[in-house]
Amino acid sequence: MDATLSKEHEDFRRVVREFAESRIAPHVAAWDKQHHFPTDVVAEMGDLGLFGITAPQEHGGSDGDFTSLCIAIEELGRVDQSIGITLQAGVGLGINPLVAFGTAEQQERWIPDLVAGRALAGFGLTEPGAGSDAGATRTRAVLDGDEWVVDGAKQFITNSGSEITSLVTVTARTGERPDGRPEISAIMVPAGTPGFVAEPPYDKLGWHISDTHALSLSDVRVPADHLLGEQGRGYAQFLATLDDGRIAISALATGCLQACLDLCVQYAGERTTFGVPIGAKQGVAFQIADLKVMLDGARALTYRAAALKDAGAPSGEVKQAASVAKLYATESAVTGTRVATQVFGGYGFMEEYPVARFYRDAKILEIGEGTSEVQRILIARGLGLPVE
């Protein structure tokens, strides 16, 4: 699959890069320190059309391709990973499930505000006892007349408790399948519904600008028509959503690597020891050369997977490519931020230098949207190995 980007893609990249460098870069250090979530910038991202890249035109979107979304995430992530994940989750976990599985009425009600950046949506899958084992979901939903009554808890949910969060779609047990396994459905819960509580924001290692909360649901009642997709298909729907999300996370990791390479090249050309720039020393130059190799590999795998999705390749092929890209790009980002911190030496350990922020932000890339271990399982299964 030829993953070469078109002129239109590169033109779009320049637009997003200019926005990120002018509207985000000057502020991210302060936002990170203050754990500030900039809803005004979210609105500007909506005005620029970033939340509507893959959404239908009839709801304010541009019907663009998935590759364009990855470009936007990469360029935002190159400046700040938290802003990049805000877009990735807002589209991949908020808008795209509505586009793929929502009714016309649901789409008309929710998508326009999400596309415009006036609102955000989250997706609640992970629970205290159900992360990689999402089938162990304990949250329950019971149909009571024309309402679903939802009880349970979710954790680590992005875009779930901001002042502009409009809804969170949660997975819940709605019955039992013939084989005895739980029937899991997806139900949309509007923010502000009685019994739905976004707990105080997490004190996280990284992604300080991202809005992330645990959720509690106690006797939460929503109309029956808030079921997203088919009853009993919620888990399968979310697995399909995760395939796309893994490609998008790969783009975020690629942005992280690009930032580290840019910062290291500049620093190694300016910082001198023993009368010469440190970039003249093989010990440093070779580390930066390795960063370039990791970046090119991550970018190639990411946009190959995105091209397969855009071309309508078989789902199994896209799934495999997504896992390969996610595994390589995210592990490379973790390694790359460590290398960048080492190149900066003692300064790399100081929060005033961006490499420190990228170092903190990178680790979660190996965990969210399926851990590295899960990706290795999926890759092995794709090869036909009988791995459990």
Residues classed as catalytic: 369
Torsion region of 243: left, alpha or beta (phi above 0 gives left; psi -120 to 50 gives alpha): alpha
CA 81, distance to chain mean position in Å, is 10
CA–CA separation, 383 and 375 (whole Å) = 12
**What single string gives the DSSP state of each residue in 87-148?**
HHHIIIIIIHHHHHH--HHHHHHHHHHHHHTS-EEEEE--BTTBSS-GGG---EEEEETTEE
| H-assigned helices in 311-370 | 315-344, 354-362
Q: Phi and psi at residue 365, in whole multiples of 5°?
A: -60, -30
CA 79, distance to chain mean position in Å, is 15
Q: Give the chain's radius of gyration (CA, Å).
A: 21
How many CB atoms lie under 10 A from the CB of residue 327?
23
370-374: long-range contacts at Cβ-Cβ below 8 A with a sequence spacing of 24 or more?
A: 370/132, 370/242, 370/246, 370/323, 370/326, 371/132, 372/327, 372/330, 372/331, 373/132, 374/132
117 Cβ contact partners less than 8 Å away, ≥ 6 residues apart? 42, 43, 44, 45, 46, 47, 50, 51
**What is the 8-class DSSP label of residue 206?**
S
Decide: residue 335, CB within 10 A, 0-12 exposed, 13-18 middle, 19+ buried.
Answer: middle
**What is the 8-class DSSP label of residue 21?**
I
User: Residue 69 corresponds to which amino acid?
Assistant: L
Name the token pair of 239: 């697995």
